[in-house]
Chain A
Amino acid sequence: MELLPIHILNSLLYASTLFLIAGGLSLIYGVMRIVNLAHGSLYALGAYVTAWTIGQLAGGAPPSTLYALLPVGAIAVAAVGAIVEPTLLRPFYQRAEEYQLLVTFGLLLILEDVMRLVWGPYPLSASQPREFLGGSTIFGSQYPNYNLLVIGLGFLVAALLWAFVYRTRFGVILRATSQNMRMASALGVNVKRVYVQAFALGCFMAGLGGAFIVPIQSAVLGMGVDALIIAFVVVVIGGLGSLEGALIGALIVGFVRTLGVILFPEIELAVLYIIAAAVLLIRPIGLFGRA
């Protein structure tokens, strides 16, 4: 039976990854009112690309340079997003929102098989970045330093994102467009460009989540589909469209699952979905959501 501090760290680790995925999902919804069912698959894509890149270069390169490769997965996914938005999503902005679910579901099916096509059905691992950093002794137990790095990076990204959205000019434009697209357009904002950029940013975050997690757990087919539904729970609890909500939601889900697996393993998932349903009933816009 491991100590509580280790569980807390694991919760934070899980929350860190969840925040990246759910934050991206929430950002996209907040700006464009799009619910992207393929978002989890983009996270998986980030994991695969990162794992593959590290695997290609790991043989020759010194381990420290591998860390520079982590963003590669995220950038690749952002690029995919920048292509997908204008081609697949833009035609549906005028249509009923249910069509988005269909088109992004189709995208999910395609992405899942693209990953299978490119990387095969077996898990792809890239544990070098984790192994290289070794571990620390925390309250008498060994804990990987890489995990601590990911926790730290998660919070760093949250802070950077907050600064980006609330302190930069682009952030102002982003928020204006999300609150009132027509008004922003009338004021001269190039809404089409903002949409592509926002979507790419959201995808970047998902890809980054995949990149960070892959040294800890291999890239495996189906991880995206599993991740999406959990990300949904985070966003439901925190509030669709809210970054603070994604953070708080990720923390809540991270703790519930990590502790749940220890205390009530059979129903920990069920409890999670019941919490989501309960939030949807009591306060459908979530803890921090705006309508």
Chain B
Amino acid sequence: MTTVAATSALRSLAYAIPVVLVLLVLPYIVTPYQRILMSYGLIMAIAALGFNILLGYTGLLSFGHSAYFGLGAYAVAFMVKYLHVTSMELFLLGGLIATLLVTAVFGFICVRYTRIFFAILTMALSQVLWSLAFKFFWVTGGTDGLRIPTPTILNGLVTVPKNKIAFLSHTYYYYVLIVFVVFAALMWVIVHSPFGQVLQAIRDNETRAAFLGVRVRRARWIAFMISGGFTGVAGILWAPLNGLTTPDILYWPFSGEIVFLTVLGGFGTFSGPIIGAVVFNYLKTYAVGLTVYWQLLLGAVLIVLVLALPTGIMGTLTRLTLKIKGASPK
């Protein structure tokens, strides 16, 4: 994040625009399957961005983010089942409100602690939600889960193809892409705002931050809500794509996955979580296709990552580019 030269808006745009352009024309280059895969990647990228405002910027490791992802997804499922809603926009609105309400409560509880106790507390709270989804099967569908049908976009203004694959790989892909760009921009502004500076100060030295007149707990709480909100939005987008939501996405190993992919990309940079989410998505898909023992593969990757490249992909790349720049003659 803030290294010797703070990234200016222009420089970030210079990196971002080509990427967005490529993503925009993707449907004309790659197969539908690849586009759907990328949608999953972008969705996890939103979740990772949310997760990382807590880890990378505020110094809080949450091991319970599956709760907010699941909340988003189940909110959509409930809106379908009990309110007969099909509008994507209503899903986003309703899901976000539900997620923010719960994150506000959970966050208020959790930010009184840091480090290991914070991590365990977030885990315990996410398990509360999991156990409810698991046990109240007549409400939540239990382990069978709840189905989510094709949603409507912009209340019918955008025509939804009858063919589900066509919808998911084209219309929905663009929808996810647009939401991703909006939320990525939003997060970028937040972390480069005065509030973002405060979070980093708290991360580095909470006592000193307090002595600067910062309300530490309140800042952490707000960061928590932003974090949960973003991850909730990811869950909301995920539900129609996946077509089904089950308690698995509330179960604690999924929280571990979110941590994993953020660390993979590098939690010390803004774009790290995005890269990590997309790469992890490909990694997992490839691993699952390769062997039934894909967990073994991913576990090994994680251990090697933490041992050898703790700053993740982007962190290592940044270090290498600095080295190369330093080595080149003036």
Question: A residues engaging B (CB < 8 A)?
Answer: 35, 37, 88, 91-92, 95, 97-99, 101-103, 105-114, 116-117, 225, 229, 232-233, 236, 265-270, 272-274, 276-277, 280-281, 284
Residue among A103, A236, A274, A280 with most chain B CB within 10 A: A280
Question: Do A273 and B296 form a contact, CB below 8 Å, given A101-B61, A280-B120, A281-B109?
Answer: no
Say whether chain B's binding surface is mostly helix, strand, loop, or mixed: helix
Residues of the B chain whose Cβ atoms lie less than 8 Å from the Cβ of A277: 109, 121, 124-125, 128
Question: Do A116 and B293 form a contact, CB below 8 Å, given A105-B260, A232-B120, A233-B124?
Answer: yes
Question: Do A102 and B123 form a contact, CB below 8 Å, given A97-B116, A110-B296, A112-B295?
Answer: no
CB-based nearest B residue for A265:
B135
Question: Do A107 and B135 form a contact, CB below 8 Å, given A101-B61, A102-B259?
Answer: no
Residues of the A chain whose Cβ atoms lie less than 8 Å from the Cβ of B61: 98, 101
Residues of the A chain whose Cβ atoms lie less than 8 Å from the Cβ of B176: none
Does B299 have its Cβ within 8 Å of any Cβ on chain A?
yes
With beta carbons under 8 angstroms apart, the residue of A88, A91, A113, A274 that contacts B128 is: A274
Question: Do A117 and B128 form a contact, CB below 8 Å, given A97-B116, A109-B302?
Answer: no
Contact with A along B111-153 (1 / 0, CB 8 A): 0110111011101110110011011100000000000000000
B103 to chain A, nearest CB (A): 15
B171 to chain A, nearest CB (A): 35
Of the listed stretches B84-92, B194-202, B303-311, B320-328, name the one at the interface; the rest are far from the partner chain: B303-311
Q: How far is the CA of A108 from the CA of B300 in the complex (A)?
A: 10
Contact A109 B263 (CB under 8 A): no
Residues of the B chain whose Cβ atoms lie less than 8 Å from the Cβ of A106: 298-303, 306
Does B252 have its Cβ within 8 Å of any Cβ on chain A?
yes
Contact B300 A229 (CB under 8 A): no
Does B253 have its Cβ within 8 Å of any Cβ on chain A?
yes
With beta carbons under 8 angstroms apart, the residue of B120, B124, B253, B263 that contacts A225 is: B253
A-B contact count (CB 8 A): 115
Closest 10 CB pairs of A and B: A109-B299, A269-B131, A106-B302, A113-B296, A110-B299, A106-B303, A273-B128, A113-B295, A113-B293, A109-B295
Does B63 have its Cβ within 8 Å of any Cβ on chain A?
yes
Contact A101 B302 (CB under 8 A): no
Q: How far is the CA of A95 from the CA of B308 in the complex (A)?
A: 13
Does B292 have its Cβ within 8 Å of any Cβ on chain A?
yes
B110 to chain A, nearest CB (A): 9
Residues of the A chain whose Cβ atoms lie less than 8 Å from the Cβ of B307: 91, 103
Does B94 have its Cβ within 8 Å of any Cβ on chain A?
no
Contact A280 B117 (CB under 8 A): yes
Residues of the B chain whose Cβ atoms lie less than 8 Å from the Cβ of A111: 299
Residues of the B chain whose Cβ atoms lie less than 8 Å from the Cβ of A109: 295-296, 298-299, 302
B interface size (C-beta, 8 A): 41
Does B27 have its Cβ within 8 Å of any Cβ on chain A?
no
Question: Do A110 and B123 form a contact, CB below 8 Å, given A97-B115, A273-B131?
Answer: no
Does B256 have its Cβ within 8 Å of any Cβ on chain A?
yes
A248 to chain B, nearest CB (A): 18
Residues of the A chain whose Cβ atoms lie less than 8 Å from the Cβ of B306: 92, 99, 102-103, 106
Q: How far is the CA of A236 from the CA of B117 in the complex (A)?
A: 9
B212 to chain A, nearest CB (A): 24
Question: Do A102 and B298 form a contact, CB below 8 Å, given A97-B116, A236-B124?
Answer: no
20 A-B pairs besides A101-B119, A105-B256 with CB distance below 8 A are A91-B307, A97-B115, A98-B115, A105-B299, A106-B303, A109-B295, A109-B302, A110-B300, A116-B293, A117-B296, A225-B252, A225-B253, A236-B120, A266-B136, A268-B135, A269-B127, A270-B128, A272-B131, A280-B121, A281-B112
Q: How far is the CA of A267 from the CA of B260 in the complex (A)?
A: 30
A11 to chain B, nearest CB (A): 19
Question: Do A102 and B109 form a contact, CB below 8 Å, given A117-B293, A236-B120?
Answer: no
B45 to chain A, nearest CB (A): 20
Contact B252 A107 (CB under 8 A): no
Contact with A along B233-267 (1 / 0, CB 8 A): 00000000000000000001100100110010000
Question: Do A270 and B296 form a contact, CB below 8 Å, given A106-B302, A106-B306, A232-B124?
Answer: no
Question: Do A108 and B134 form a contact, CB below 8 Å, given A225-B253, A236-B124, A273-B128?
Answer: no
Residues of the B chain whose Cβ atoms lie less than 8 Å from the Cβ of A98: 61, 115, 119
Which residues in window 264-311 of B have CB below 8 A to A? 292-296, 298-303, 306-307, 310
Question: Do A276 and B124 form a contact, CB below 8 Å, given A101-B63, A106-B302, A266-B135?
Answer: yes
Residues of the A chain whose Cβ atoms lie less than 8 Å from the Cβ of B134: 269
Question: Do A110 and B295 form a contact, CB below 8 Å, given A101-B61, A277-B109?
Answer: yes
Q: How far is the CA of A102 from the CA of B308 in the complex (A)?
A: 13
Residue among A35, A112, A113 with most chain B CB within 10 A: A113
Residues of the B chain whose Cβ atoms lie less than 8 Å from the Cβ of A116: 292-293
Can you list 26 A-B contacts with CB-CB less than 8 angstroms, sorted by A residue number? A35-B116, A97-B116, A99-B306, A102-B260, A102-B302, A106-B299, A106-B302, A106-B306, A108-B256, A108-B299, A110-B296, A110-B299, A111-B299, A117-B296, A229-B127, A229-B252, A232-B120, A267-B132, A267-B135, A270-B128, A273-B127, A276-B124, A277-B109, A277-B124, A280-B113, A281-B112
Residues of the B chain whose Cβ atoms lie less than 8 Å from the Cβ of A276: 124
A178 to chain B, nearest CB (A): 16
With beta carbons under 8 angstroms apart, the residue of A99, A265, A266 that contacts B310 is: A99
CB-based nearest A residue for B303:
A106
A28 to chain B, nearest CB (A): 13
Residues of the A chain whose Cβ atoms lie less than 8 Å from the Cβ of B302: 102-103, 105-106, 109
Residues of the B chain whose Cβ atoms lie less than 8 Å from the Cβ of A105: 256, 259-260, 299, 302
